[in-house]
Amino acid sequence: MSKIWVGTNWKMTKTIAEGISYTKELKQIANELTSTIELFIIPSHTALVDIKKEVSDSRIKLGAQNMHWEDTGAYTGEISPKMLDEIGLDLVELGHSERRQYYNETDAEINKKVRAALKYGMKPLVCIGENIDQKNNEISQEVLAAQLKVCLKGLSGDQVKQVLVAYEPVWAIGENGIPADAEYVGEIHTFLRRTLIEMYPNIGHEIPLLYGGSVNLDNFLPYIDQKDVNGLFVGRTAWNMETFTILLKELEKHISE
């Protein structure tokens, strides 16, 4: 698997104007990249239409942070896959730990969203991760296998080929996150790869496995060097264009060495 996926979820941090100016800058950096980095950004829903115009003449892929699984209906405050399809997105992030934690999203609901995304040709970026109690109780692998199996339940091999998986340990995410050891990340990714191959013997090896959780300029290279890490899902370090530029340029240099 030669492509390296690198992207960022802006969460609830950028206005439309801020998002447009960020994207204009990122486009310039993206133009200078020659490698096989697959770059994506995931703005807030309100900015998607404008940012779509910005990225349409670039290599930057565009995604949404969440959606409902139904096409239409009485679901106040929700956005449907049909609505996202009107904008024309490449991917949709599903099951981020903040969605699970603050909005009680379950793996079964994420599975419905995954199917809905596929119906509209959007790549589901499925986030999974164990919390600190689960890690301390040494059940991380069981928890992650269960999340993966339920989130991908019922998908055909052709469908699962479109899926991206992001491993994001809950204890490593955000301001209070503790960056994970690269070796731990490597072990978990190898476990996830094995699980995917058990589930899909013919294509399990092709599904990109991204790592996310306090990725920064000091740790991104050790993470990407892990055998089964196929990309980075970056929060705070990518929201700042200065640090994101350094990360992208150093990563490109590293992978072309």
Q: What is the distance between the alpha carbons of residues 90 and 69, in angstroms, rounded to a whole number? A: 17
Q: Say whether residue 177 binds ligand PEP (CB under 6 A).
A: yes
H or E stretch covering 188: helix 182-199
Q: Say whether residue 145 binds ligand PEP (CB under 6 A).
A: no
Query: Nearer to ligand PEP by C-beta: 76 or 176?
Result: 176
For residue 34, the minimal CB distance to ligand PEP (Å) is 26
Q: Say whether residue 174 binds ligand PEP (CB under 6 A).
A: yes
Q: What is the distance between the alpha carbons of residues 198 and 247, in angstroms, rounded to a whole number? A: 34
Q: Say whether residue 26 binds ligand PEP (CB under 6 A).
A: no
Identified catalytic residue from 54, 98, 109, 168:
168
For residue 169, the minimal CB distance to ligand PEP (Å) is 10
Long-range contacts of 129-136 (CB under 8 A, 24+ apart): 129/97, 129/167, 129/168, 129/169, 129/170, 129/172, 129/173, 129/213, 130/169, 130/170, 130/171, 131/170, 131/171, 132/170, 132/171, 135/169, 135/171
**Tokens found for residue 4:** 């390296």
Query: Nearer to ligand PEP by C-beta: 127 or 196?
Result: 127
For residue 173, the minimal CB distance to ligand PEP (Å) is 4
**Tokens found for residue 206:** 């092709």
- For residue 206, how many other CB atoms are within 10 A of its CB? 15
Task: Write the interaction track for ligand PEP spanning residues 208-237; mark x where CB under 6 A is met and - where it is not.
Answer: ----xxxx-----------------xxxx-
For residue 235, the minimal CB distance to ligand PEP (Å) is 2
168 catalytic, yes or no? Answer: yes
Query: Nearer to ligand PEP by C-beta: 44 or 214?
Result: 214
Contact yes or no for 226/188 (Cβ under 8 A): no
Query: Nearer to ligand PEP by C-beta: 138 or 175?
Result: 175
Contact yes or no for 243/19 (Cβ under 8 A): no
Identified catalytic residue from 96, 109, 189, 252:
96
For residue 239, the minimal CB distance to ligand PEP (Å) is 8
Q: Say whether residue 9 binds ligand PEP (CB under 6 A).
A: yes
Query: Which 62-81 residues touch ligand PEP, going by CB under 6 A?
Result: none
Closest residue to ligand PEP, judged by C-beta, is: 235
Query: Nearer to ligand PEP by C-beta: 128 or 199?
Result: 128
Contact yes or no for 232/211 (Cβ under 8 A): yes
For residue 182, the minimal CB distance to ligand PEP (Å) is 15
Pairing, β 91-94 against β 61-64? parallel
Chain centroid, CA 28 distance in Å = 22
**Tokens found for residue 157:** 């091999």
- The residues assigned a catalytic role are 96, 168
Sites of contact with ligand PEP (CB under 6 A): 9, 168, 173-174, 177, 212-215, 233-236
